[in-house]
Amino acid sequence: MTAAPLTSAEIEAIRAQFPILRREVNGHPLTYLDSAATAQKPGVVIDAESAFLRTANAAVNRGAHTLAGEATEAYEDARGTVARFLGVAENEVVFTSHATEALNLIASSLGTASLGRGAGSHADAAPLALREGDEIVVTELEHHANLIPWQELAARTGATLRYVPVLDDGSLDLEAAARIIGERTRLLAVTHVSNVTGAITPLDALVPLARAVGALVVLDACQSAPHLPLRPRELDVDLAVFSGHKLYGPTGIGVLYGRAELLDAMPPFLYGGSMITTVTMERAEYLPAPQRFEPGSPRLSQAVGLAAAIRFLEGVGLDRIAATEHELAAHLLGGLASVPGVRVLGGVDPAGRVALASIVVDGVHAHDAGQVLDEVGIAARVGHHCAQPLHRRLGATASLRLSAGVHTTVAELDRAIEAVASIRPFFGLDGGAAS
């Protein structure tokens, strides 16, 4: 049964939980349409992190005193909350500093395996090794964080990096994907939702191609986790990453999901305390996942804040958030389509999209366009959004991105559309023809 979108009254109740939405910018009520870059924090997240620091802060797994026990319990409870959110086991959840670190962790670990060094039994890591002639496949949609680590891994191992191209409408060329993902493919790394077009990647078409040749599948879920139910096992991916700060949680924390047997076979990424069983002057033995990937002092208050953010989202309902986003996407894209001289990267069909749109305004640089919106209190992103190859493919050097959050209203989108319509006249350009 399809979930019902949030009502206007429910959205207003949600908005009341975000303290920052009460402020003004340049004399106007803040309209925050930059959630794809970083989401704002509801009061429960701010309070949870603050309360931990005020009442339970201590080193985890390292002391017998009461505070240490409470801190350890809070940290592991947070891991349990994330595991429930993803529908996976707790030992399949690794806390990192951010999603970028999580992706680098995977690439570095596979690189270590490829050098014949690693944790525990070398035989455990050997099947993960990449060799000359092997292929790593990405897509032209990727954020730099899901591209550059694989470029570097290919360079270190002698593997070849290939990519699935994008069509003129911003969608993936699935026919090309079927040709590119083949017997030499060892790893497919793909975004779940494009941070430029808002398009949901057709994993049901891509993942079976990888599975047919025994390739690992890595999913960048940074832009999907706040907007869609995220179930890595149901999506049939081996590894998935997302960031806390885009999920209404704190900065400084990310999550890596990995199949338990895969994580236990992967060599560590960083080395130090809290991730070992035995150390001599000659060698070390490492704990199983997730501890082997969490050396040093962990992200304590951040994990507690992330758990609070997840509980907040679960209280709203990810299925209802997705239904609401579908309506917001249709409203936003339809409104932008009516503005002369504005091109929406990826087109204006709302099917299979979250409420995110990147636009190019004819004759106006994206940064100048963003300043026009900022003058009336609208926060939007400008630049290439760490996706230069995709911008280049779509014929743009930069764009102005509008991205909704759980607190976004139709009225705010209307304000933004109206402001976008004012950009060209502001710079003395005529309306032109919509493109």
Write out the catalytic residue numbers: 386
Measure the CA–CA gap between 345 and 366, rounded to whole angstroms: 13
Torsion of CA 411, 414, 416, 421, to 10 degrees: -160
Helix (H) or strand (E) segment spanning residue 240:
strand 239-243
Calpha distance 405→39 (Å, rounded): 7
Largest CA distance in the chain: 74
C-alpha angle 187/188/191, rounded to 5°?
145
- DSSP one-letter code for 166: B
Residues in a beta bridge with 160: 135
Q: What are phi and psi of 96, to 5 degrees?
A: -125, 180
CA 57 to centroid of chain Cα atoms: 28
Q: CB under 8 Å to 191, separation ≥6 — which residues?
A: 139, 141, 142, 143, 146, 201, 219, 220, 222, 223
Rounded Cα–Cα distance for residues 6 and 173 (Å): 34
The closest of 210, 208, 257 to 89, measured between CA atoms, is 257
d(CA 356, CA 399): 12
Q: Which residues contact 333 (CB under 8 A, 6 or more apart)?
A: 344, 348, 349, 350, 353, 357
Of 58, 61, 57, nearest to 276 by C-alpha is: 61
